[in-house]
Amino acid sequence: MDIKDKIVVITGAASGIGKALAIRCHTEGAKLVVCSDINGEGSAATAAQIGGISFKTNVAVEGDIVHLIETVEADHGPIDLFFSNAGIGIGGGAEASNEGWQRIWDINVMSHVWAARHLVPRMAARGGGYLINTASAAGLLSQIGSAPYAVTKHAAVGLAEWLAITHGDQGIKVSVLCPQAVRTAMTAGNPDGVASVNGMIEAEEVAECVIGCIAAETFLILPHPVVLDYIRRKTGDYDRWIKGMQKLNRQYAG
């Protein structure tokens, strides 16, 4: 897809990857960039910077996503590209609270479900559109120190795969963004990131990678290309990969 003259909606646009994507889509000539975030002031600041419009949206609430989609399409026209980008991280394993598990599930998984639920029929009726879901390399591999993050990001990847398989013949393109460590608010307390073995990159580098993959309509967007090697090692010898991850876990737990 060529972003020029397209209507683009981005959740989580107040900062980090979402903000970088909004700026880059504007640079690429988007007709309109809609910036959405639970941080309404931050989202408005991003929109003001690029001449876009802003919505305060809690993606953990289906009604908020419905309002975002319906208002944009009623007031400005069909959404061509929807970045379901907002996400959170929490620590812990199975012992994490039910409330914590539910919150991260709603934001990291159900927000993608709700966006697809209310956009796919519209896009299919008009012959196509593009959905991009932000997951993580943790959705392809795992996340040391956080079962909720690893599980929800795996689910996000699985949903994107299913959407691509099921709706591709309707002209709907789907990509899933799976970076390792990116310098954002989520990683602010960890200057190197858990994935420091491969380095932390800037949000602008992620946006650059995303734009190239949109043009090529690539399903799997990997700002850290080495992740593809890790996937191959994982599937090539699962037991060896588990042992390697156990070693990594000991290093960070020690």
CA distance from start to end of the chain: 46
> Strand, coil or helix: what is 166?
helix
CA pair distance 62, 55, nearest whole angstrom:
14
> Which residues, in sequence order, are bridge partners of residue 208?
none
Burial class (CB in 10 A: 0-12, 13-18, 19+), 5: exposed
Buried b (16+ CB within 10 A) or exposed e, 62-93: bebbeebbeebbeeeeebbbbbbbbbbbbeee
CA pair distance 230, 69, nearest whole angstrom:
37
Nearest to 25 by CA among 49, 59, 44: 49
Active-site amino acid positions: 149
User: Would you state the structure tokens that stand for residue 173, as one six-digit string?
Assistant: 């393109």
CA pair distance 194, 129, nearest whole angstrom:
35
Contact 20, 203 (CB under 8 A): yes
Query: Cα–Cα distances in Å, from 36 out to 44, 67, 70, 184, 249?
Result: 8, 11, 14, 17, 36
Nearest to 56 by CA among 27, 33, 84, 36: 36
User: Would you state the structure tokens that stand for residue 245, as one six-digit string?
Assistant: 């991850």
